[in-house]
Amino acid sequence: MSGGTQDSINTEKVTYLLGLLGRQRSVSELNPDLSDSDFEDIASEEDELHKDSDKKVYTMLSQMLTKPPVVEDSYESSTTDSQSAVEDVITGIYTDLIEMSESNLVRNDPFNLKVHVKYAEKCLTSPFPPQYVGYDANHGWMLYWLVNFLRTMNRPVDESVSKLVTDKILRVTINEGLGGIGGGSGQIGHAASMYASVLALVLVEDFDTLNRIRHNLYKWMMSLKKDNGSFSMHPGGESDTRSTYCILVIASLLNILDEQLCKDTASWLATCQTYEGGFSGIPNTEAHGGYTFCAIASYFVLLGKGEGSFKERLNNVIDVDNLLRWTAMRQYHLEGGFSGRTNKLVDACYSFWIGGIFPLLEMSQNTNGSLFDRDALRTYILNCCQDSRGGLRDKPGKSPDFYHSNYTTLGLSIAEHEYSFMAQTKPANNDDYAYLVDSVRVRDGDCSAINPIFGLPLGVAEKCKEYFKLADK
């Protein structure tokens, strides 16, 4: 702790302890007259609080193991067989936790911060083994996943890694951005590769490179725009809610979003909402978590302006009740984690693709509380998805990888925070709501709060946007 007056030292101690206890309070809420003995009282209350939450884990796990699910599929098929196999493994893990407990106190496995940081750092600094050749179209993605994973764990990025990011991305940037950004050397520009590559540059704060290419990227993105308001992934390629989200996010971060780019996009996205309530990639196909996240997050970049509140605007274009019903159905009773679509298996990457939709709904609908079971998701991630050698995985039995490490950690962060919009003056730009995210820590943890619209630690997108707003003044 830094030096200061007795009052400010006490305030710092209490802020620190409250952080450990789970809910961060603003300094103004704290009593500056607290003495050292009050400080000790708070420390022993912390022990009690841990016991309390250990009891809660016990009660929750007992219910997860015994209560039947809301809907059970009794039709036997390979789908139900796979589901039973996953349930058996997870039942084993949760039963062991209960059996090892004393006096009904169950502690989740702690988040293994040190080994996960080591995993991320090692993957960023070692040459890949030959089997990674299959990832050759994913250079930008791998950099985004790993650097984001590291920064979400509140770790700084080494200068050598920042340089690596810039060098690699420049090698896949085509004609200074006029041809977009490809997945690997010699490959054509692709909206998803551009998205991941730009996020990687934003994470290492290489705003100079971004400034140099951003107006060229705008031209390339406009060339992908279709008459119906959606965007192609690449010239002649498929268009879906993913490409739309990728392009809107990049335009917003680089302060190049305009009416022309946004034209008809909100109404096209709405045609992707299915009878189930979730969104498919293109109209009339199956609702899926990945596509649904992309559609809903896109609205935060599109609906900043207009009549009425943001909530009214969103509720006017889509069926929010049906969306909430479908999204809530993705959390499985026994596992605690999410599936990506009806009748499919739990997978930790949906802790972000589905988990990220909840804060968006919590903010936009002003729910003032949780729309899903944060403790159950946390229990799934901590006990079922950590690899002891570092990294996080889809489910028990799977190997950790960069993609799951990143999205599962983002999901863990979501489970440990609650979200609302910041107090606001009247928003004036389409994407203003994407930057009004406020969070409060509600569970103990090591991960930074995130901005769920961008899938970045809170503050990262905000800093980038500010940089380009200033540059454009």
Give me the residues that bind ligand FPP (CB under 6 A), please: 192, 195, 242, 245-246, 288, 290-291, 294, 340-341, 344, 347, 353
Active site residue 294: no
What are the residue ranges of helices labelled H in 100-206? 113-125, 139-152, 159-172, 191-203
Which DSSP helix (H) or strand (E) runs through 451?
Answer: strand 450-451
Least distance (Å) between residue 411 CB and ligand FPP: 13
Active site residue 435: no
Least distance (Å) between residue 149 CB and Zn ion: 15
Compare residues 58 and 358 and give the one whose CB is closer to ligand FPP: 358
Return the range that interacts with Zn ion (CB under 5 A); candidates 17-25, 207-215, 340-348, 420-428: 340-348
Of 144, 332, 350, 435, the active-site residue reads 350
Compare residues 229 and 337 and give the one whose CB is closer to ligand FPP: 337
Residue 333 partner contact from Zn ion, ligand FPP, none using kind-dependent CB cut-offs of 5 to 8 Å: none
Active site residue 288: yes
Least distance (Å) between residue 103 CB and ligand FPP: 39
Strand runs labelled E in 64-121 = none
Least distance (Å) between residue 358 CB and ligand FPP: 16
Per CB under 5 A, which of residues 390..409 are in contact with Zn ion?
Answer: 394
Residue 394 partner contact from Zn ion, ligand FPP, none using kind-dependent CB cut-offs of 5 to 8 Å: Zn ion
Active site residue 52: no
Instruction: Count CA within 13 A, CB hemisphere, residue 361.
Output: 23
DSSP labels, 175-216: GGGTT-BBSSTTPPB-HHHHHHHHHHHHHTT-HHHHHHHHHH
Active site residue 350: yes
Residue 294 partner contact from ligand FPP, Zn ion, none using kind-dependent CB cut-offs of 5 to 8 Å: ligand FPP
Active site residue 109: no
Cα separation, 134 vs 328, whole angstroms: 35
For the chain, the 3-state helix, strand and coil shares in percent, each to the nearest 5, are: 55, 5, 40
Instruction: Count CA within 13 A, CB hemisphere, residue 268.
Output: 23
By beta-carbon distance, which residue lies closest to ligand FPP? 290
Residue 145 partner contact from ligand FPP, Zn ion, none using kind-dependent CB cut-offs of 5 to 8 Å: none
Of 344, 398, 438, 443, the active-site residue reads 344
Active site residue 33: no
Q: Measured over all CA atoms, what is the biggest interatomic distance in the chain, rounded to whole angstroms?
A: 69
Active site residue 347: yes
Of 246, 262, 349, 384, the active-site residue reads 349
Instruction: Count CA within 13 A, CB hemisphere, residue 239.
Output: 20
Among positions 123, 349, 381, 456, the unique one binding Zn ion when judged by CB under 5 A: 349
Of 206, 240, 375, 401, the active-site residue reads 401
Active site residue 341: yes
By beta-carbon distance, which residue lies closest to Zn ion? 349
Which DSSP helix (H) or strand (E) runs through 93?
Answer: helix 78-99
In terms of Cα–Cα distance, which of 467, 428, 342, 413 is closest to 152? 413
Least distance (Å) between residue 347 CB and ligand FPP: 5
Among positions 206, 240, 335, 347, the unique one binding Zn ion when judged by CB under 5 A: 347
Contact (Cβ atoms closer than 8 angstroms) between residue 148 and residue 122: no
Return the range that interacts with Zn ion (CB under 5 A); candidates 6-14, 27-35, 348-356, 439-447: 348-356
Structure tokens at 440: 């409060």
**At which residue do the structure tokens 């169950």 appear?**
106
Least distance (Å) between residue 346 CB and Zn ion: 10
Q: Which long-range contacts (CB under 8 A, 24 or more apart) does 329-332 make?
A: 329/70, 329/71, 330/289, 330/354, 331/372, 331/373, 331/376, 331/377, 332/69
Q: What is the DSSP letter of 33?
A: T
User: Torsion-angle region of residue 243: left (phi > 0), alpha (psi -120 to 50) or beta?
Assistant: alpha
Cβ-based neighbours of 260, under 8 Å, separated by 6 or more: 222
Of 168, 225, 374, 404, the active-site residue reads 404
Residue 385 lies near Zn ion (rule: CB under 5 A): no
Cα separation, 350 vs 357, whole angstroms: 10
Residue 161 partner contact from ligand FPP, Zn ion, none using kind-dependent CB cut-offs of 5 to 8 Å: none
Of 341, 374, 395, 417, the active-site residue reads 341
Residues known to be catalytic = 288, 341, 344, 347, 349-350, 394, 401, 404
Residues of this chain that interact with Zn ion (CB under 5 A) are 347, 349, 394
